[in-house]
Structure 1
């Protein structure tokens, strides 16, 4: 057993062996050594003493071999790269799989310095070091604005990279997707945004190192891309109260993160909101309605976990519709928390549907937001893109 000072003594009078537990550099090394046999305490036969000596020599050899194996070997790329390679080779990354080979992927890493209240800027060095330590070639480039990010992503998707890695949240992903070459490019995402709803839907891990492991070792999955007036989006688009909340959050909320942003914006926008008259057209016909808001989902959630279209599938070739018809502000406020579990669809003034296209036209133009970003205005036609997005996701079982 160990004593409180980190040492233990175990002795046997038969072979006179003492074991000392030594703590060095945070690791406990058990070193067995020989003290010698006292004639007064050892009545063993010569054969037993010979066996004890042989065991002691074996212990010393194993200890020396362990030390030699533990010493980091010099490898190209410096000490940090060597340690990174040793760590991932032993642990196999997030999934625990043992990996004995380094990645040879050529990556383009694009990051929005303002994503996640500046998280992407702070973490890009860790991403770069982690990827390069695993043997990947990583070309990092920051964007200077929305248009610049669209341009960089589009050019990178056609430049022959194995992966175009986007660091950011749903808004950054939305911009990267706008002109991305779906036929040539493969997209990977390291979630560093405020909501990260798309990342949650496809099962991406939240830590930088685990997300980097998916970038290098994940599988490529083809998913749907939604369109609003032929402009792409990945998750959920909305109009009416929904878009006014997103607009308020983008312009005025700088001190909160995640779902708290949208909850705060809801409370600020709701008192002055009035229902909207719209004309809705789909494969099933057209009608006029008075609504609080409408959401068209390629995925099931937005706003940091609000499951507004809870049954949406990202690869079924269809869009899911949620219409919240006219109701009182109090009823709307009572129903919105239910959307975190998808239970809002049971409310009598909530309508859900599914189809390939939906058309909305309002008496007055309304803003349409998608993935938390301003996208277009009504009249708006929602549809599914003919091409799929190739995105890197965790392997099944990870």
Structure 2
């Protein structure tokens, strides 16, 4: 197979505040080195505010690859620093949902993820951009930011995806539908919605919700759960989780390289699980922005 090989030298950056990060740091280091990856530096990051400066330090060192261990939020906030840089991005999925890893077909267990880094190949992919902030997988408006903003850390840490479900049920009681406007540069659409998924990849919350999204097609997808019914939103998640034949009946999709999003009332936007923005906002695609490591058996992107 053509293309440059995956580097055998890297810096390891692990969010030790993530659900599995602290427990798996030493094991990850030992197994990466045993797999033939020479680690020039290892950074356990225990405070979330230190993650981005640590990533910048790693990239500035000139390392050919940075391996980031953490959840979707950790991965998303660190991809900015490898955009258009000669530095490969590799990931160890140590979070709860691990949507970015699922999108790329990377095994969710530590051994499988390390084997991918040691034996995989490079793949150049798109990133989403929300008002200048890059994101790896999916931004969301609606119930998802409400869940992501307030979920107790201990509930998330000890119960994982079950904890998300418990908290989501509580948030659903307080949630209200909203009026959505989408401008794709050619036409403006207005509709009632309970959730909007701005997808670069197919997975959100660990579930494949946007099956049409691709990480290398040069477009972003806005998938809208239509209407004002909270029951319809629950059904949408249920139908997509179980891949029922009618799973697309509750949603409408809008495609483009750039979309302008507005809501009434103003809504918070979560970016790969972290609440970082509000409407109105512009979402766009950064085509072929970074190189990641994926399993060797994946078909090469066109």
**What TM-score do the two structures reach when normalised by structure 2?**
0.88
Q: CA deviation at 1:210?
A: 2.8
2:29 matched residue in structure 1: 128
1:269 is displaced (CA, Å) by 1.4
CA positional deviation for 1:258 = 4.5
Higher RCO structure, 1 or 2 (CA under 8 Å, sep 6+): 2
Deviates more, 1:136-145 or 1:187-196: 136-145
SS in 1 for 2:208: coil
Contact 1:345 1:351 in 2 (8 A): no
1:310 to 211, 221, 225: 211
The structure with the largest alpha-carbon Rg is: 1
Post-superposition CA distance 1:54-74 (Å, at most 9, x none): xxxxxxxxxxxxxxxxxxxxx
SS at structure 1 position matched to 2:172: helix
2:17 aligned residue (114, 129, 144): 114
When the two chains are superposed, the root-mean-square deviation of aligned CA atoms in Å is 2.3
Aligned pair partner of 1:273 in 150, 168, 175: 175
Q: Given that residues 180 and 192 in structure 2 are in contact (C-alpha distance below 8 angstroms), is that contact kept between their aligned partners in structure 1? A: yes
Measured against aligned partners, the alpha-carbon deviations of 1:311-353 in whole angstroms (never above 9, x if no partner) come to 1111111111211122322333233211214556532x42123
Residue pair 1:195, 1:257 contacting (<8 A) in 2 also: no
Residues 1:387 and 1:159: Cα distance change in structure 2 (over 3 Å): farther
Q: Tell me how far apart the structure 1 counterparts of residues 215 and 242 of structure 2 sit (CA, whole Å).
A: 18
Among 127, 133, 140, the residue aligned to 2:42: 140
Structure 2 residue 271 is matched with structure 1 residue 358: no
> How many angstroms apart in 2 are the aligned matches of 1:364 and 1:210?
44
> Is residue 391 of structure 1 aligned with residue 292 of structure 2?
yes
Match of 1:290? 192
Residue 157 (str. 1) matches residue 157 (str. 2): no
Deviations 1:186-226 (A, max 9, x none): 11111111111111121112332332222222101001110
Count, aligned residues? 292
Whole-Å separation in 1 of the counterparts to 2:83 and 2:13? 15
CA distance change for structure 1 residues 181 and 104 in 2, over 3 Å: closer, same or farther?
A: closer
- Tell me the distance in 1 between the aligned counterparts of 2:158 and 2:170: 14
Tell me, which stretches of 5 or more residues in structure 1 are unaligned?
A: 1-102
1:300, CA displacement in angstroms?
A: 0.5
The 1:362–1:104 alpha-carbon spacing in structure 2 relative to 1, beyond 3 Å, is: closer
TM-score between both structures, scaled by the size of structure 1? 0.68
1:167 aligned counterpart, secondary structure: strand
Q: Name the structure with the higher strand share.
A: 2
Determine if the alignment matches structure 1 residue 340 to structure 2 residue 233: no
The answer to whether residue 96 in structure 2 is matched with residue 207 in structure 1 is no
Given that 1:157 and 1:184 are in contact with CA atoms closer than 8 Å, whether structure 2 keeps it comes out as no
Corresponding residue for residue 226 of structure 2: 325
Distance of 2:137 and 2:268 partners within structure 1: 17
Distance across 1 between alignment mates of 2:205 and 2:50: 25
User: What are the ranges of 5 or more consecutive residues in structure 2 without an aligned counterpart?
Assistant: 1-5
Cα distance in 2, alignment partners of residues 149 and 303 from structure 1: 22
Give the corresponding residue for 1:41. Answer: none
